[in-house]
Chain A
Amino acid sequence: MDRKFYVSMAPHIHSGDSIEKKMYGVLLALIPAFLVSLYVFGWGSLTVTAISVVSCLTFEYLIQKFILKVKPSITDGSAILTGVLLAFNLPSNLPFWIIIIGAFVAIGVAKMSFGGLGNNPFNPALVGRVFLLISFPVQMTTWPLPGEHSYIDATTGATPLGMLHGHFGQLPDLSSMMLGTIGGSLGEVGAIALIFGGLYLLFKRIITWQIPVSILATVFVFTLIMGLVSPDIYHIGLIKTACPVFPALTYALFHLLSGGLLLGAFFMATDYVTSPMNPRGQIIYGIGIGLITVLIRLFGSYPEGVSFAILIMNGVTPLINTYVKPKRFGEVKK
């Protein structure tokens, strides 16, 4: 018989899971949030996202083919995802050349220089975003008002967190925050769309509950305590009108729904490469992010702290991986 069989070690079947399935699954989960941002910001949203995605893909292809000289892997979906997540952290009127610089830093510096997918210690989209925030503070903190659909000459205004931090302005109510008719970066509006996307990811087992739940729970508990303990916050009067019965709760929910927290909790902190490798470690990681976010928001000089919190905890991840091990079977108690 000249029939040759294949031989390998067990197992001989596979779940069929692949990197592409995971990356494209996350992109699918981001579609509702993208639709909301289109509704709120119009052309600006589309342009920023398109420029970001195309730049990320281009840079990854060029670097892999000509500098690293490896087979380009742009079809695995990770560069597209970095592009979309970077765009979601930017205002919809950001000049195109700034976006391209951001994409270059995200892909070239934060991802490729460490060896490509799987080797980066920090979340590439966040590194790009923070780089831009520090290098171009004015452009990165001038957000168009909700409903301003133009890319170039949108009228700008502050975000809810900006108002809270600087003690000025009319805070939006919780329902606007859920639906997205507020100011902010592309991925910061439309809380309900983001929650929906997050639940899809959990259902499809692309992410697990430990990180999002520990981040959101920590922020919720901390801000609830703050709301109860220091009731003389500037906006407490306005919050009282929204929910007179339990203003501290409204305050906590406000924090949960504002800024990049939902985007960060479900889509950015859960990035595989930069988060800890076992459930126990992931809870510690999530609590750390929650705490740092709240500390920066309430006591720091920036109105928003999620990006920094995630990047700081990305740095702590290797430490968590070394010292926090998964629950072992048959642990021998010494």
Chain B
Amino acid sequence: MRTFSIGGIHPPGYKLSAGKPIQRAALPKQSVVLLNQQIGALAVPVVTKGDEVKTGQLIAKSGGIVSANIHAPVSGKISKIDLIPDTGGYKHKAIFIDVVDDVWVDTIDRSDVLIKDCNLDATAIVAKIAEAGVVGMGGAAFPTQVKLKPPHGKKADVLIVNAVECEPYLTSDHQLMMEKGEEILVGTTILMKAIQAKRGVIGIENNKPDAIAHLKRLSAQYPGIEIIPLKVQYPQGGEKQLIEATIGRQVPSGAFPIEVGAIVQNVATVFAVYEAVQKNKPLFERIITVTGKSVSRPGNYLTRIGTPLSDLMNEAGGLPEDAAKVIGGGPMMGKALVNLSVPVTKGCSGLLVLTGKETLRKEIKNCIRCTKCVRACPMGLEPYLLMTLIEHEEWGKLEKERIMDCIECGCCTYSCPSARPLLDYLKIGKSKVGEVIRTRKK
């Protein structure tokens, strides 16, 4: 069973919502569309207060080279453009839409019929993806069209689809593969065409045998696409780890995957690409896993962006009594939310309710040098040492110890028997060292 070569941990799966068919979440009364939903520049609104919009209509334009278009997830009237707190608590501009019915823009093909052929050339495909505002759906929300245009002189020879879903609790990608398997394969072919690669690989963790079997059966019709089952290990879905596990190449320190000729896309992004290119449907809805040990109706909900998370929570049975933390995303890398009034964004893959017993941190003790963090780190770093160096502000030594290689996966903090907050310090260390490097380059 293929896997990555260094480190890794085995958290329990807790796939409570596995097998639950995708349900359409109800439309909210008011949709709040944040303009900072993607990595890069803020999107610029092209509507104003009072405008009437249809579902799928462009409401904000990409704000730069690294940015993305945003489309109305609902139909109705623009109520205002104002500041609201995002998942981090800082206020950002958002477009508020009062929902009236659900009238879609008529260029969108709403049928379920599979469209296999794509006659567009690479440039046209990338342009269509850009127009549709597709961003990385694995959580990072990196504008897809930027990833598909490698820097001058670099070319990809393989497209890797990340269908691993290694985070505990999350099942939306799994369900998407079971219900829209062939669409995903068509999306993969389209992306391979866009980057002019002859080889496509879909990596799936071995805890989803039905998805592996299903896609393997379908892929017989799509030569060039290989389905690769991977060992159940976190972080199998980490970009660099996935590339090593599927095609055996290690991305060098400090470089991007294109350096080894690979481009990686999350499986939900691939589906969004299929819908964008074949159905003219921009990205304005996504599947979110709503789950947690005390949640009464865990499941995979197809939700429009801009829906307040509190609405989703109510559909899944309401906020449980013993909820201690509410996470946007998965338990290893997701963001703890201050409240449920934050709206859904393109990168939000899960709504997870954790009980106090599962999540509250224990008393911090001295490092007992047990090496669990070193053995767990998938990048071969020494987290115990990095934390001490950060406490002493030794930025030069930190750079030598490769702190910028850290992928912030959380394996170290998960494993530490002294409950040391390793990743907390690693994140601020990375940002400080990053600043030092940037000022030096100037």
Contacts and interface: CB of A to CB of B under 8 A. Distances in A.
Interface of A: 1, 3, 5-15, 17-19, 21-22, 73, 76, 115-119, 208, 272-273, 275, 277-279, 325-332
Given A11-B332, A11-B410, A118-B367, A330 B374 contact: no
Contact of A11 (B323, B368, B423): B423
B375 A279 contact: yes
B253 interface: yes
A277 B368 CA distance: 11
Contacts of A12: 325, 327, 331-332, 334, 336, 354, 358-359
B39 interface: no
A251 to B, nearest CB: 34
Contacts of A73: 365
Contact of B368 (A10, A15, A117, A332): A117
A7 B336 contact: yes
Interface stretch (B46-54, B149-157, B378-386): B378-386
Interface stretch (B97-105, B263-271, B294-302, B411-419): B411-419
Nearest to B340: A1
A12 B372 CA distance: 18
A330 B367 CA distance: 27
Given A5-B326, A272-B371, A332-B254, A10 B384 contact: no
Contacts of A273: 368-369
Contact of A10 (B6, B370, B415, B423): B423
A14 B11 CA distance: 8
A330 B255 contact: yes
A278 B371 contact: yes
Interface in B345-359: 354, 356, 358-359
SS class, residues of chain B in contact with chain A: loop
A11 to B, nearest CB: 3
A1 B380 contact: no
A13 B333 contact: no
Contact of B419 (A5, A13, A14, A119): A14
Contacts of B253: 328-332
7 contacts: A7-B338, A14-B414, A22-B417, A277-B384, A329-B380, A330-B253, A332-B252
Contact of A5 (B324, B362, B405): B324
Contacts of B240: 329-330
Given A5-B324, A117-B366, A328-B402, A10 B333 contact: yes
Contacts of B197: none
A279 B361 CA distance: 29
B227 interface: no
B168 A116 contact: no
B113 interface: no
B335 interface: yes
A115 B421 CA distance: 20
B84 interface: no
Given A8-B336, A13-B414, A330-B253, A118 B369 contact: yes
Contacts of A330: 240, 250-255, 379, 405
B9 interface: yes
Contact of B418 (A3, A19, A119): A19
Contact of A329 (B319, B378, B415, B424): B378
Contacts of B414: 11, 13-15
Interface string B413-442: 111111101011001000000000000000
Contacts of B413: 11, 14
Contacts of B327: 12
Contacts of A11: 331-333, 410, 413-414, 423
Given A8-B336, A329-B380, A13 B324 contact: no
Contacts of B374: 277-278, 326
A234 to B, nearest CB: 43
B123 interface: no
B337 interface: yes
B414 to A, nearest CB: 5
A328 B418 contact: no
B339 interface: yes
Contact of A272 (B359, B368, B382): B368
B6 A327 contact: yes
Contact of B331 (A9, A13, A327): A13
A6 B325 contact: yes
